[in-house]
Amino acid sequence: MRPTPGIEQRRMLRTAIPGPRSAELHARKSAAVSAGVSTGLPVYVERAGGGILVDVDGNQLIDFGSGIAVTTVGNAAPRVVERVQEQVADFTHTCFMVTPYAEYVEVAEALNELTPGDHEKRSALFNSGAEAVENAVKIARSYSGRPAIVAFDHAYHGRTNLTMALTAKNMPYKHRFGPFANEVYRVPMAYPYRWPTGPDHCADEAFELFVSQLHAQVGEENTAAVIIEPIQGEGGFIVPPPGYLKRVASWCRENDILLIADEIQTGFCRTGDWFASEHERIVPDLITTAKGIAGGLPLAAVTGRAEVMDAVHGGGLGGTYGGNPVACAAALGAIETMKSDDLARRARDIEAMVVPRLRRLADKHSEIGDVRGRGAMLAIELVTGPGPAKTPDPALTAKINAACHTAGLVTLTAGTYGNVLRFLPPLSIPDDLLVEGLDILEQAFTESA
Ligand X SMILES: *Cc1c(COP(=O)(O)O)cnc(C)c1O
Return all residues near 57 (Cβ < 8 A) that are at least 6 apart: 14, 15, 18, 19, 20, 21, 22, 43
Residue 237 interacts with ligand X (CB under 6 A): yes or no: no
Virtual torsion, Cα 381, 386, 391, 392, nearest 10 deg:
-20
Amino acid identity at 31: A
| Closest CB to ligand X among residues 194, 422 | 422
Q: Cβ of residue 233: shortest distance to ligand X, in angstroms?
A: 4
Q: Quick one: which of 125, 133, 282, 286 contacts ligand X (CB under 6 A)?
A: 133
DSSP SS3 for 267 = coil
| Closest CB to ligand X among residues 133, 139 | 133
Contact 225, 286 (CB under 8 A): yes
Which region, judged by CB under 6 A, interacts with ligand X, from 92-100, 153-161, 365-373, 405-413?
153-161
How far is the C-alpha of 439 from the C-alpha of 432, rounded, in Å?
10
Q: Cβ of residue 333: shortest distance to ligand X, in angstroms?
A: 19
| Closest CB to ligand X among residues 70, 383 | 70
Q: State how beta strands 377-382 and 409-410 pair.
A: unpaired
Select from 233, 162, 178 the least CA-distant residue to 170: 178
| Closest CB to ligand X among residues 150, 264 | 264
Q: Cβ of residue 443: shortest distance to ligand X, in angstroms?
A: 29
Residue 130 interacts with ligand X (CB under 6 A): yes or no: yes
Number of residues binding to ligand X, judged by CB under 6 A: 14
Q: Cβ of residue 288: shortest distance to ligand X, in angstroms?
A: 7
Q: Cβ of residue 252: shortest distance to ligand X, in angstroms?
A: 18
- The interface mask with ligand X, positions 249-288, x = CB under 6 A, is -------------x-xx-----------------------
Q: State how beta strands 420-423 and 377-382 pair.
A: antiparallel
Q: Cβ of residue 230: shortest distance to ligand X, in angstroms?
A: 9
Q: Cβ of residue 158: shortest distance to ligand X, in angstroms?
A: 4
Give me the residue whose beta carbon is nearest to ligand X: 129
How far is the C-alpha of 117 from the C-alpha of 121, rounded, in Å?
9
Return all residues near 363 (Cβ < 8 A) that are at least 6 apart: none
Residue 158 interacts with ligand X (CB under 6 A): yes or no: yes
Q: Quick one: which of 156, 191, 275, 445 contacts ligand X (CB under 6 A)?
A: 156
Going by the DSSP 8-state scheme, the letter that residue 272 receives in this structure is S
Residue 227 interacts with ligand X (CB under 6 A): yes or no: no
How far is the C-alpha of 182 from the C-alpha of 425, rounded, in Å?
37
| Closest CB to ligand X among residues 301, 429 | 301
Return all residues near 440 (Cβ < 8 A) that are at least 6 apart: 62, 404, 407, 408, 409
- The interface mask with ligand X, positions 100-129, x = CB under 6 A, is ----------------------------xx
Angle between helices 343-364 and 431-448 (to 10 degrees): 20
| Closest CB to ligand X among residues 291, 348 | 291
Q: Cβ of residue 234: shortest distance to ligand X, in angstroms?
A: 6
How far is the C-alpha of 447 from the C-alpha of 403, rounded, in Å?
9
Site for ligand X in 375-434 (CB under 6 A): none
Amino acid identity at 373: G
How far is the C-alpha of 179 from the C-alpha of 356, rounded, in Å?
45
Q: State how beta strands 148-152 and 184-187 pair.
A: parallel
| Closest CB to ligand X among residues 229, 367 | 229
Residue 58 backbone class (left: φ over 0; alpha: ψ -120 to 50; beta: rest): left
Select from 151, 145, 176 the least CA-distant residue to 165: 151
The number of angstroms, rounded, from the C-alpha of 357 to the middle of its chain's C-alpha atoms is 23
| Closest CB to ligand X among residues 290, 358 | 290
Amino acid identity at 302: V
Q: Cβ of residue 164: shortest distance to ligand X, in angstroms?
A: 11
Site for ligand X in 287-326 (CB under 6 A): 290-291
| Closest CB to ligand X among residues 265, 401 | 265
| Closest CB to ligand X among residues 266, 337 | 266
Residue 59 interacts with ligand X (CB under 6 A): yes or no: no
Residue 233 interacts with ligand X (CB under 6 A): yes or no: yes
Q: Quick one: which of 63, 229, 341, 370 contacts ligand X (CB under 6 A)?
A: 229
| Closest CB to ligand X among residues 192, 235 | 235
| Closest CB to ligand X among residues 128, 223 | 128
Using CB under 6 A as the criterion, which residues of the chain lie in contact with ligand X when the complex forms?
128-130, 133, 156-158, 229, 233, 262, 264-265, 290-291
